[in-house]
Each structure stands twice: as C-alpha cells, then as structure tokens.
Amino acid sequence: MTNNILLNILLLAPLTSALLIFLLNISRRYTKQTLYTLLALSGSGLSAMIALYISYTSYFEQKLFVSNLFTWLNIGDFTIEVTLKADALSSFMLLFVAPVSFLIHIYATGYMDKDKSYGRFFTYFNLFIFFMFLLVLADNPIIMFVGWEGVGLISYLLIGFYFDDIQNTYAGNKAFIVNRVGDFGFLSALMLLFVEIGHGGFSYDAIFFNLSLIDTPMLSLIALLLFVGAMGKSAQLPLFVWLPDAMAGPTPVSALIHAATMVTAGIYMVARFAPLYNIASDVSLFIAYIGGLSALFAAIVATRQYDIKKILAYSTISQLGFMFMALGVGAYSTALFHMFTHAFFKGLLFMGAGAIIVAFGHKQDIRELRGIRRSVPTIFIMMLIGSLTISAIPPLSAFFSKDAIMGILYASDHLDLFFIALLSSLFTVFYMFRMIFVLFFSENTTEPSKNSVKSMNYPMAILTLLSVFAGMLNLPEIFGGNLMMSSWLDLADKHFVFSHANEIFLMSVNTILICFILYYAYKRYAYKDTILKESTTGLVANKFYIDALYQLIIVKPLYALSFFFDRKISHDLIDTSINSMALNYKKLGKLFAFFENGNVRFYALYMLIGLVLGFIYLFLLLKAML
C-alpha cells in the first residue's frame, strides 16, 4: 500500500477548490470575484507546480509515483483499486496538461471578468482539471473511464455555459450525444476486455501481461471499439461534428478543453493501449487512415470558414488527425510529441482569438474583424507566431513534431498517408494565413471596443515562448538532439529506418512548399477583399454536407422514431391503456357501489340471499349425511 502525498494533492487540489467555489457560489450571492480567482488559481497553480515536479523527477530520476487511494470494488476475485500512477506517459501528460490548465486559468480570469456566472465557470473549470488528472493518472481503464466521462460532462456543461441562448444548449447536447457513441465503443471494449481477461486483474500492467490470452479477431474488435471511443473524444471522422459546434462555449473552454487537453484524451488512450495496437496492426492502419482523412477533410473545410473559432476548431480536428496518423503507423511518441506542441500553439491561438473576441465586442466573424493589426499589436505578434508554428516553419516547435510525423509516414512505406499528410499540412498553412491576412493585413480598420486585459496577455506570452521552444524537448538526431522525450516515454514504438539525407530532403521540400503556400495566401488575401467574394455555396463551404447528412440519416429518423414512440406508443398505447384500466376500475367500482347504495332494504335482500344460499348448503349437507 503505497500512498504518495504529492499525487494525492495534485489530484485533490483542483477538486477542493472546485468544491469551495461551488459552495461559495451557491451559498453567497455576492461573493467578491477576487475570492473566486484566488481559489481557482491556487487550486490549479498548486497542481501545476506538483505536476512540474513530478515530471521533472520522472524524467531525470525515472521515479515512479504511485498512490493507492482506496478499493472501489471488490467482487469475488475481481478488484478495482483506485490507484494513481504517474509513470513516464502520465508524467508527460501532466507536464503539459497542468501548466496549460494553469495558464488558461489565469487567462480565463481576464476573459470572464465581471461575468455574472464567474463562480460557476471556475467550479466547472477546476472540476475539469480534476477529471483530466484522474483520466491521465488512472492505473486501470475503469478509473480512466471515470475521468473520461467526467471531462465529457464538464465539456457538455461548459459548451452550454451560456444557456440563455438555446443554440448553446443544443451544441452542448450535440457534443454529449456524439460522445455517447464514442463512449459506447469504449465501454464495450472494456466489457470485452473484462470478459476475456478480467480474471487476471484490470490494471494496465495486468491487461498488457494477459494480452496474449485473447485471440486475434477479438483483440482487433477490442482495439477497434477502443478507437471508436477515441474517435468520439478526439473528434475524428465520422464523429467530429460536435467539435465545431462546441465553440459555443467561452473561449477559455475552447482553448483548454477543446484544443489542448480533453480532445487529446483519445490520443493518450490509444498511446496508453500501445501494446494492444501493436498486435492489432489492421486496426492501427485503420486508425492511420481515419486520422489522415480527418486531417485532410478538416483542413479543407477550414479554408472556407469565417468564424475565427470554427477555423481553429477544424484546425484542431486536422492536427488530431495528424496525431492519429502517427499513432496508426506505430509512432506513439511522435504522436504524443505533436500533441505536446499542439497543446501550446493551439492554446495560444485560441487565447489570441479569445482576446480579439473580447477586445472587439464579441465579434467572431473574420470578415467583420479586418485590419486590426494596429489596434492589438501584441495579439497580432503572438497570433502570427502561433500560426507560423502550426504551419511548421522551422525552427518553431511544430516543425519538429510535424516533420517527425511526416518522416515517419514516409519511412513506414505508407506513401498515400504521407501525401495526405503533406496536403493537409499545406492546407493548414493556407487556412491559417488566410485568417491571419484577413484579420491583420487590410486597409480597413476596426476599432477595439475595449483595451486588452493584462491577465490575458501574460499567459499568452508564456505560451508563445513555449510554442517556440517546446520543440527542443525532442530534437531529432540530425539537429544534434537525441530524441530525449521518446526515450523517456519508452513506449512500444515501431522503429523505421530512415536516412538523414532523406529526412533533410523531405524537410526542405516541405518548408519550400509551405513558404510557397504562404506567399500564395498573402497574394490572395492580404490587402484585398477576396474574402468577401468567396461564395458560400458549394461542397467545401457547406462542410461537405456532413452535418446535413447526419441531420438527414440520423437525427430526422430518430426524431420520427421518438415522435412515433411519444405519440403512438407512449401516448396512444400506454397512456390510453392505463387510463382505460383506471376507467374500467372505476366502472367496476360503480358496479359494486350500486349494490352498496345505503338502502337498508337492499341490505336485507343480500341477507336473504345469503340466508337462502346457506340454507341450501346446509340442506345438501344434511342430505349427504343421511
């Protein structure tokens, strides 16, 4: 029974602050906003510091933190322990989840300033960190599932945060329902795992130890179902539809939950089950193709979006697709590295978008926000750096992570995947700089309605620095690095032979192409009104009609079915039958009430009938005796 106090504090600090904020929020109507801020920041800040310490010791001393909290279930031989375990992978997740959460907390104090639901927001936000830590630190898939559902719940609550507008609630419902599909897959996979090897314990170690006991088709099925879960959570085709709508929530939510942390839970899960996916290679390939399609699809759709947050949302889907491609070919640590850098630059981009939205009175359409470079110069610089990073310009961090993915794809002999990735990457550059050029390079000027808030700028500055330098953590050999992160994580990576000459060639070609696209985007959008002339019809502008398709083949029939069950089954059949039953009982009661009419003569009649019947009985008895 090991019990590491640091891990417990790490997990419980956000939960405690969430509880305190919640209690304050429901008990006292006019609590000072400062008090909420203090509580929220202390909870997330404490856990961020501990997380950094844990990752530090895990990296340099290979120390394993384990904390056995309590036994949750104990049924016969089957036990579920609530155990927190910070191995290399979990520590790595903590390394970016906790600091990014903390930074976005600081940012949110500025973004949510003077909001009437300030306390409620930070209750959810801190609770989210708790569930995310639970997901990451869980020692067995069941506890991970608890965290998984928890972050899904918080995501739902925060998407529909401004529930005054029914559209936000619909978006929250959509996210929740689409995630249910994924969770169904995850849960089914867990059940199958339990049926197959549940007797040997259910911690990750036990599961991976017993993997050989499962026959191949079943293993593939489990792997596939697990991936369905990841698909829902990480918004991959075909379960991506909720993520663009999820942008209805406040921007810090989009930054933290729908860009940096929660949506990467799918990546984390697949990486966590790396030994499983190494055996189920067909499923892995399927994952790679789904990732590739998502990456390309989302990148194409993003080129015709106008909502600044939706562009970023599609960009997130696209980047997650990149990660899944890497996961699919077995380069788990490469995928995780991209997730790591992605958390920083996507968080930064979202925060920049949020800052712009706040500064310009909650406008989100880039056509209405043109030429704002002079108004918000700091945001411009940081957004530009973020966009350059996501476009993989050397030597920014995403250059290393994305090129690593491309290199792996090339080396793994999946050239089709490689070209998909290349194309998506170029589209990424295009849509990002379309946004940048429209927003910042235009003769038109839009005046800000509000000065930028300092508490929003500092975390953005830190994230900018991180986006620039995070690539150093996993420098490839050709730049004199030694892939320290990959060796730290020590995952069951597949290794591909890949000559340095090829690598340099690929990088150069890639960079040249990116620069070319950048120039094209500049020509097309900077200081021009091209954006206003784009037609809003056509396949791309309508997101390939995927939403309409879902509406047609899933939502409409479901509505019809629900309507049928409501009207016909529930109302006509069940209600009517129950009502008629009650009515018949009433009639039956009336029938007997007719006999009990209160008239003594009738009672005498009944007595007479009883008397006569008794007499007949006695007489028959007497006859029988004689």
Partner 1 sequence: MLKAYMILSIILFSIGVIGLISRRNIIVIYMSIELLLNAVNLSLIAISGDIGNASGHVMSLMIIAIAASEAALFMSLFVVLFRKKGSLDANIFDILGNKDD
Partner 2 sequence: MENEIVFSVLAVVAVVSAIVMISAHRPIDSALSFIVTLISVAALFGLVNATFLFVVQIIIYAGAILTLILFIIMFLNIKDENLPEEKYKNRWLLVTSILILPFSVILINLILGSDIAVNSVINENLGTIKDVGLTLFSQWILPFELVSILLLVALVGSVTLSKRKD
Residues 6+ apart with CB under 8 A from 59: 91, 488
Q: Considering the rule CB under 8 A, would residue 616 count as an interface residue with partner 2?
A: yes
Exactly one of 552, 574, 581, 605 binds partner 1 (CB under 8 A); that residue is: 605
Dist. CA 141–CA 618, nearest whole Å: 77
Among 293-301, 356-364, 482-490, 614-622, the segment contacting partner 2 (CB under 8 A): 614-622
- List the single partner that 560 binds among partner 2, partner 1, none, CB under 5 to 8 Å by kind: none
Exactly one of 365, 484, 596, 618 binds partner 1 (CB under 8 A); that residue is: 596
Choose between 56 and 615: whose C-beta lies nearer to partner 2. Answer: 615
- What does the DSSP 8-state code read for residue 73? E
- List the single partner that 163 binds among partner 1, partner 2, none, CB under 5 to 8 Å by kind: none
Cβ burial 402-431 (10 Å sphere, 16+ → b, else e): bbbbbbbbbbbebeebbebbbbbbbbbbbb
Among 160-168, 268-276, 338-346, 615-623, the segment contacting partner 2 (CB under 8 A): 615-623
Residue 609 Cβ vs partner 1, minimum distance, rounded to whole Å: 10
- List the single partner that 600 binds among partner 1, partner 2, none, CB under 5 to 8 Å by kind: partner 1
Q: Considering the rule CB under 8 A, would residue 611 count as an interface residue with partner 2?
A: yes
Question: Which residues 547-606 are close enough to bind partner 2 by CB under 8 A?
Answer: 605
CB atoms within 10 A of CB 334: 32
Cβ burial 432-446 (10 Å sphere, 16+ → b, else e): bbbbbbbbbbbeeeb
Q: Do residues 131 and 73 make contact, with C-beta atoms less than 8 angstroms apart?
A: no
Choose between 558 and 604: whose C-beta lies nearer to partner 2. Answer: 604
Exactly one of 216, 482, 551, 597 binds partner 1 (CB under 8 A); that residue is: 597
Percent helix, strand, coil in the chain, to 5, is 75, 5, 20
Q: Considering the rule CB under 8 A, would residue 622 count as an interface residue with partner 1?
A: no
Q: Considering the rule CB under 8 A, would residue 601 count as an interface residue with partner 1?
A: yes
- List the single partner that 590 binds among partner 2, partner 1, none, CB under 5 to 8 Å by kind: partner 1
Q: Considering the rule CB under 8 A, would residue 609 count as an interface residue with partner 2?
A: yes
Choose between 539 and 593: whose C-beta lies nearer to partner 1. Answer: 593
Read off φ and ψ for residue 118, nearest 5 degrees: -55, -50
Exactly one of 29, 61, 599, 626 binds partner 1 (CB under 8 A); that residue is: 599
- List the single partner that 619 binds among partner 1, partner 2, none, CB under 5 to 8 Å by kind: partner 2
Dist. CA 36–CA 28, nearest whole Å: 12
Dist. CA 296–CA 577, nearest whole Å: 54
Q: How far is CA 355 from the centre of its chain?
A: 23
Q: Considering the rule CB under 8 A, would residue 590 count as an interface residue with partner 1?
A: yes
Residue 587 Cβ vs partner 2, minimum distance, rounded to whole Å: 24
Runs of H (alpha helix) within 112-140:
118-137
Which tokens hold the place of 245? 């709508």
Residue 619 Cβ vs partner 1, minimum distance, rounded to whole Å: 14
Residues 6+ apart with CB under 8 A from 375: 359, 445, 446, 447, 448
Report the interface residues with partner 2, using CB under 8 A.
605, 608-609, 611-612, 615-616, 619, 622
Report the interface residues with partner 1, using CB under 8 A.
590, 593, 596-601, 604-605, 608
